[in-house]
């Protein structure tokens, strides 16, 4: 019972913090502030992963999203130094932006409707909480990764290789 | 039992974050902020997948999230390289002024 209440408190606090951070990301004028709030959002989502008993993905979320990707983004923001350009922007909403907000509100209503109306679809599998605790989360994930998902795993390696080569070719100076 | 929060609350949080990210993509004009909003939307979808896989006693969603993260990492490398290249050529990364491929 005490565990239940604690679970709810952690869930509500983390969820509200994540939504607050998401709102701050799109309302801050300076890109560096947006990046900081986005890191907060990613950390909150990592805590939600822990609540869903996915320790491996929570750690990977902190390492890849909050660590690697956001480090790259902040590096590029610092490199480009576009802050003063953003600051003298007029506060005026173009018609396209207003239409965008309306479309997003419609999308949001559809998402909430879809979440609320339908029961959770999908195929039930054998990895219950006790089974995962018994064999270990990372071991279970690795077992599936190298058997059932071997082909997507190899394709992902090719994708990463293409990404590396693309980044090198794009940022190479042509003289 | 331990897990008392119904899955619908996790899905609602995910939907809210996804909608906020989509709004940022449509409203903001700075290309880097738009990129960050796209990352936020990917992350919200990941939360949906993890929720579904947890409540279905399955691990397929976890593996799916793993591959989505791979794509996000490759996208970050290439996308940020494109931004640096754009800024080097045109001295701006505002998406209103980058309209070479628009029409």
Q: In this predicted model, what pLDDT tens digit does every residue of A88-101 receive, in sequence order?
A: 555 566 888 888 88
Backbone angles phi, psi at B59, to 5 degrees: -115, 5
B1 band by pLDDT with thresholds 50, 70 and 90 = very low
HSE-CB of B53 using CA atoms within 13 angstroms? 24
Contacts of A124 in chain B (CB under 8 A): 56-58
Contact A45 B47 (CB under 8 A): yes
In this prediction the ipTM stands at 0.91
Report the distance separating Cα B22 and Cα A103, nearest Å: 10
Total residues belonging to chain B: 103
CA atoms in the 13 A half-sphere facing the CB of B69: 26
Q: Is the dihedral of CA A144, A146, A148, A151 positive or negative?
A: positive
Mean pLDDT of A140-154: 91
Q: What are phi and psi of B30, to 5 degrees?
A: -90, 125
pLDDT at A39 over 70: yes
Structure tokens at A84: 């003063």
Domain ranges of chain B: 7-90
**Fold that domain A1-85 belongs to in CATH:** 1.20.120
How confident is the model at residue A63, as a pLDDT? Answer: 93
Q: How far apart are CA A14 and CA A37, in angstroms?
A: 14
CA–CA separation, A165 and A26 (whole Å): 31
Q: List pLDDT tens digits, range A45-64.
A: 999 999 998 899 999 999 99
Q: Given pLDDT bands bounded at 50, 70 and 90, which one contains residue B3? A: low
Tell me the whole-structure pTM to 2 decimals: 0.89
Residue-wise pLDDT for B19-56, tens only, equals 999 999 998 888 899 999 999 999 999 999 999 888 88
Judged by CB atoms closer than 8 Å, whether chains meet at B43 and A61 is answered as yes
Chain B contact set for A51 (CB, 8 A): 5
What per-residue confidence (pLDDT) applies to B8? 87
Option in B12, B52, B83 nearest A120 (CB)? B52
Position A122 scores a pLDDT of: 72
Residues A82, B28 contacting (CB under 8 angstroms): no
Measured between CB atoms, does A174 come within 8 Å of chain B? no
pLDDT for A82: 66
Backbone φ, ψ for residue A128 (5° rounding): -75, 170
Q: What is the DSSP string of chain A?
A: -HHHHHHHHHHHHHHHHHHHHHHHHHH-SSHHHHHHHHHHHHHHHHHHHHHTT-HHHHHHIIIIIIIIIHHHHHHHHHHH--HHHHHT------HHHHHHHHHHHHHHHHHHHHHHHS---S---S--HHHHHHH-HHHHHHHHHTTTTHHHHHHHHHHHHHHHHHHHHHHSPP-
Six-digit token string for B50? 């993890």
CB of A68 less than 8 A from some CB of B: yes
Q: Residues A85, B94: contact at Cβ < 8 Å?
A: yes
Cα(A142)–Cα(A156) distance, integer angstroms: 15
Q: How far is CA B103 from CA B8, B49, B98, in A?
A: 42, 36, 12
Whole-number average pLDDT of chain B: 88
Q: If you average pLDDT over residues B85-102, what whole number do you get?
A: 81
Tell whether domain B7-90 is in CATH 1.10.287.3510. Answer: yes
Residue-range domain boundaries for chain A = 1-85
The per-residue pLDDT for A84 is 54
Please give, rounded to a whole number of angstroms, the shortest distance from the CA of B38 to a CA of chain A.
11
């Amino acid at each position: 019972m005490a565990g239940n209440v604690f679970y709810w408190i952690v869930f509500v606090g983390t969820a509200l913090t994540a939504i607050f951070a998401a709102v701050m990301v799109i309302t801050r004028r300076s890109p560096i502030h947006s990046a900081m709030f986005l890191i907060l959002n990613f950390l909150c989502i990592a805590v939600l992963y822990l609540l869903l008993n996915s320790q491996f993905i929570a750690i990977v979320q902190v390492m890849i999203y909050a660590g690697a990707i956001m480090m790259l983004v902040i590096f590029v923001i610092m490199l480009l130094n576009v802050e003063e350009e953003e600051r003298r922007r007029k506060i005026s909403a173009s018609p396209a932006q207003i239409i965008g907000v309306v479309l997003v509100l419609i999308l949001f209503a559809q998402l909430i409707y879809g979440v609320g109306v339908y029961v959770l679809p999908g195929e039930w599998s054998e990895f219950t909480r006790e089974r995962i605790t018994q064999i270990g989360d990372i071991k279970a994930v690795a077992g599936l990764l190298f058997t059932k998902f071997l082909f997507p795993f190899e394709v992902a390696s090719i994708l990463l290789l293409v990404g590396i080569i693309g980044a090198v070719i794009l940022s190479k100076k042509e003289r | 039992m331990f897990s008392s929060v119904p899955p619908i609350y996790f899905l609602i949080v995910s939907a809210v974050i996804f909608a906020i990210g989509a709004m940022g993509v449509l409203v903001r004009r700075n290309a880097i902020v738009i990129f960050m909003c796209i990352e936020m939307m990917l992350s919200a979808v990941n939360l949906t997948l993890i929720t579904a896989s947890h409540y279905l006693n399955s691990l397929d969603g976890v593996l799916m999230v793993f591959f989505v993260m791979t794509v996000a990492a490759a996208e970050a490398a290439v996308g940020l390289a494109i931004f640096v290249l754009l800024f080097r050529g045109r001295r701006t990364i505002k998406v209103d002024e980058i309209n070479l491929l628009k029409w």
